[in-house]
Amino acid sequence: MWMSIDEIQDSVQRKVKKRRYQHILGVRFTAQALAMRFGEDIMKAGYAGALHDCAKYLSDKEMLLACRKRQIFCSEIEKRQPSLLHAKLGAAFAKEVYGITDEEILSAIRWHTTGKPGMTDLEKIVFIADYIEPGRKMLPRMEEIRKVSFQNLDKAMYLILDNTLSYLEEGNAKDKDTIDSYSVDAYDYYKERNGAV
Ligand code: FE
Ligand code: FE
């Protein structure tokens, strides 16, 4: 049997900074609330939320090294922006360190940063919870996105990806090179799903 969610939470707490830990708690409870709303597995949402940033304490160099050690593929964008790798490594650590074998939980951790087309509801829930948890600072349209998240997961995906991509595009040229192609594909996918052109 897996470690209890509270044991996991305590172990993660010892590794990450206090502010990150508060964020992780926020994501755990928000993901569970969304799971209740949409009839998803509350336990799985809790595990995925508690573990989603469990690799985020590593430095850029350590992330690249940890990927090499496990033969985890790193794209050019990930090599330029190794912090993106905390999602792939988070899923790897969830399995290795915490013994999580459930593929739905692991893939919700894997896709929480970039998103991708055709996500499962659990994947969407963790992605959305990461963005809307109560401790997040107020971003543009946050009130609307929080409300929509409890009404329509696909619409919330579209609004969040739209916000994230336009934020990155408005930034400097360096940021443009760090937009993961999965996020762009996910944006196109959820835009079409919502009938927006
Ligand atoms: Fe993250
Ligand atoms: Fe996070």
Q: What is the pLDDT of residue 173?
A: 46
Q: What is the pLDDT of residue 49?
A: 98
Ligand 2 centroid to residue 52 C-alpha, Å? 6
User: How far is it, in rounded angstroms, from Cα 55 to Cα 87?
Assistant: 8
Going by pLDDT thresholds of 50, 70 and 90, the confidence category of residue 46 is: very high
Residue 182 tokens read as 């999965």
Return the ligand number nearest the Cα of 131.
2
Return the ligand number nearest the Cα of 86.
1
Q: What is the pLDDT of residue 179?
A: 81
Q: What is the pLDDT of residue 168?
A: 75
Mean pLDDT of the chain: 94
User: How far is it, in rounded angstroms, from Cα 40 to Cα 35?
Assistant: 4
Q: What is the pLDDT of residue 176?
A: 60
**Residue 99 burial by CB count (10 A; 0-12/13-18/19+): exposed, middle or buried?**
exposed
- The CATH number for 80's domain is 1.10.3210.10
Percent of the chain surpassing pLDDT 90: 87
Of 104-118, 151-165, 171-185, the range with the lowest mean pLDDT is 171-185
Which residues have their alpha-adjacent CB atom under 5 A from ion ligand 2? 53, 130
187 pLDDT higher than 90: yes
Structural domains in the chain (count): 1
- Are 84 and 180 spatial neighbours (Cβ–Cβ below 8 Å)? yes
Under 8 Å CB-to-CB from 55, ≥6 apart: which residues?
63, 66, 85, 86, 89, 90, 92, 93
Q: What is the pLDDT of residues 113-154, one digit of tens each?
A: 999 999 999 999 999 999 999 999 988 899 999 999 999 999
Ligand 2 centroid to residue 90 C-alpha, Å? 11
User: How far is it, in rounded angstroms, from Cα 21 to Cα 172?
Assistant: 30
User: How far is it, in rounded angstroms, from Cα 36 to Cα 121?
Assistant: 12
Ligand 1 centroid to residue 139 C-alpha, Å? 17
User: How far is it, in rounded angstroms, from Cα 73 to Cα 105?
Assistant: 20
**Residue 140 burial by CB count (10 A; 0-12/13-18/19+): exposed, middle or buried?**
exposed
Ligand 2 centroid to residue 61 C-alpha, Å? 20
In DSSP notation, 117-150 reads TT--HHHHHHHHHHHH-TTSPPPTTHHHHHHHHT
Domain span holding position 100: 5-193
